[in-house]
A = this chain, B = another copy of it.
Amino acid sequence: MANFKGHALPGSFFLLFGLWWSVKFPLRRYWRRGRPAQGDRLPQFFNRIDLVEGGLKIFFAFVGIMAEQFVPDGPHAHLYTTDAWVKLMNWQHSTMYLFYGISGVADVLSASSPAIPLSLDRLGLSLALFVEGFLFYFHLHGRPPLDIHVHSLLLVAVFGGAASTFLEVFLRDQPVLEVLRSSLAILQGSWFYQIGFVLYPLSGPKWDETQHDNMMFITMCYCWHYATALLLVGVNYSLVYACVRRCAGRQGRDMEIGLRKTCSSDSSSQKALLQDSDED
Contact = CB atoms under 8 A, between A and B. Distances in A.
B263 A173 contact: no
B266 A98 contact: no
Interface in A94-148: 95, 98-99, 102, 114-120, 122-123, 127, 131, 134-135, 138-139, 141-142
Given A85-B217, A171-B170, A220-B92, A275 B265 contact: yes
B279 A123 contact: no
A257 to B, nearest CB: 11
A277 B220 contact: no
A134 B223 contact: yes
A276 interface: yes
Interface string A17-50: 0000000000000101000000010010000000
Contacts of A220: 88, 91-92, 95, 135
Question: What DSSP secondary structure best describes chain A's contact surface?
Answer: helix
Interface residues of A, number: 76
A166 to B, nearest CB: 9
A169 B214 CA distance: 35
Contact of A118 (B213, B241, B272, B276): B276
A165 to B, nearest CB: 12
30 contacts: A32-B267, A85-B217, A88-B213, A88-B217, A92-B216, A92-B219, A95-B224, A116-B280, A117-B176, A117-B280, A118-B276, A118-B280, A122-B176, A127-B230, A135-B220, A138-B219, A141-B212, A170-B277, A172-B276, A173-B274, A173-B278, A174-B274, A174-B278, A175-B280, A261-B280, A266-B275, A266-B279, A269-B271, A269-B279, A273-B273
Interface of A: 30, 32, 40, 43, 84-85, 88, 91-92, 95, 98-99, 102, 114-120, 122-123, 127, 131, 134-135, 138-139, 141-142, 156, 169-176, 179-180, 212-217, 219-220, 223-224, 226-227, 230, 241, 259-267, 269-280
